[in-house]
Amino acid sequence: MASTITTAGTLTCGDLLATVLMADNVWADNASAKFYKANTGVIDAIRENQTVRFPQLQTDKWNQIKLIWLEMCGTDTTACTDLCDAGTLDEIQSGCETHELACLAEVGFKIGEYSYDSTYYEFQEAIAKGMLAKMKLLDEKIAQLGVAALSSFTGVNKYTTGIAEGTGNLFIPPAYWGPDLMAEFSMIAIVNKFNNPYLISGSNLYKANWNAMMNAANADGKGGAAKMDFFPAYFDLFNVDSIAGKVTYLVDPNALAFVNKARYSSTPKEYGNGADKTVYSVGSKNLPGVFYDVIYYTTCVADEIFHNFKIKATGAFLQNPVGCDEDITGVLEFTCGNPVS
């Protein structure tokens, strides 16, 4: 695989696009792609279920987004009035929030043009694989931030007569973590006014779910499998336990959303005298529809030309505006264990 670098110390816009295409080819090769697969179960679940929409409205900054919703909260019913009496009416109006997206994380790498050993990989192939490896880290970081967002958006459980104890972080004893727990979650969802909720979990419920699915074909196992299948469930064994502990989230699809925006287009553009910086965006392989900004530049250190790449993720986890019950956020967090007295 020959390198297309034509000028020492500089990768042209065409060279950079060639590395993007090379990365696509590496990803398409199942044998190679396995090294760049990320653990993103949490963010996959959030993005698959989120219902919020962000209209393309003009804002003052490239990294701003507007969220619009309807305010329809009434106080109570009233006594019937005469036909000609206007009465006291609740006004339905639209509300708007402007959110500013921030840099969530960045990664980077560099390759020395003269000191790089091209015995095994040509220069641009090394760049392409470096990009894939670093973007994998950003993908997983976003998943980890998703866990933190779920915990921070946790609301108050309105179903107070069940087995879940505590406020905020709700505790359910280990003995209950099996198929029968779905009945409890169903009551919790109804009382808390969750609409078609789903579960996000780490190791909690994983074995119970696995065993139920394996026993689904057995006459005495169909019931357990049906119970476990009542809620859509997503298991992330890499991020949930490590970030939040042994917890499970019950989530209303309207509760939160992840939004991402790249500053630059996918076509590389040079800035500065002598092309000091070249900027462009690349799409995540693990999170289709998520784009990262790339800043490419060269430096000269100790008689060596280094090709430097910074990759930045910009976005936000947004909580839907609170409804008429301000403490019902659409997210509840359950811990396997007993409350700490």
Q: Would you list the DSSP string of 317-333?
A: EEEPPP-SSTT--SEEE
pLDDT for residue 6: 42
Q: Are strands 304-319 and 291-301 parallel, antiparallel or unpaired?
A: antiparallel
Interval 65-94 mean pLDDT: 68
* Euclidean distance between CA atoms 115 and 93, whole angstroms: 64
- Give the integer Cα–Cα distance in Å for 198 and 330: 11
pLDDT at 85: 75
pTM > 0.85: yes
Range in 93-102, 172-181, 263-272 the model is least confident about = 93-102
Interhelix angle 13-28/123-152, rounded to 10 degrees, is: 70
pLDDT in tens, 226-241: 999 999 999 999 999 9
Asked whether 252 and 322 are in contact (CB, 8 A), the reply is no
CA distance 200 to 148: 13
Which helix (H) or strand (E) is 129 found in, with range?
A: helix 123-152
pLDDT at 107: 98
What confidence category does residue 87 fall into, taking pLDDT thresholds of 50, 70 and 90?
low
Q: Mind listing the pLDDT tens digit for each residue in 5-47?
A: 444 557 889 999 999 999 999 999 988 899 999 999 999 999 9
pLDDT digits (tens, 9 = 90+) for 278-305: 999 999 999 999 999 999 999 989 989 8
Print the SS3 string covering 45-111: HHHHHCCCCCCCCCCCCCCEEEEEEEECCCCCCCCCCCCCCCCCCCCCEEEEEEEECEEEEEEEEEE
* pLDDT at 178 (0 to 100): 93
CB half-sphere exposure, 142, CA atoms < 13 A:
33
Question: Where do the domains of the chain lie?
Answer: 1-51+103-341
pLDDT of 121: 79
Higher pLDDT, 271 or 191: 191
Decide if 71 contacts 93 (C-beta within 8 A): yes
Average pLDDT taken over every residue of the chain = 87
Band of the pLDDT at 1, cuts 50, 70, 90? Answer: very low
Stronger pLDDT, 312 or 169, i.e. the higher one? 312
For residue 291 the two structure tokens come to 């784009």
Q: Are 320 and 330 in contact (CB under 8 A)?
A: yes
> Mind listing the pLDDT tens digit for each residue in 112-123?
988 888 777 788
pLDDT in tens, 206-225: 999 999 999 888 877 888 89
DSSP class of residue 10 equals B
- Ranking 92-101, 168-177, 266-275 by mean pLDDT, the lowest is 92-101
179: pLDDT strictly greater than 70? yes
Predicted local confidence at residue 341, as pLDDT: 56
Q: Average pLDDT in the 329-338 region?
A: 92
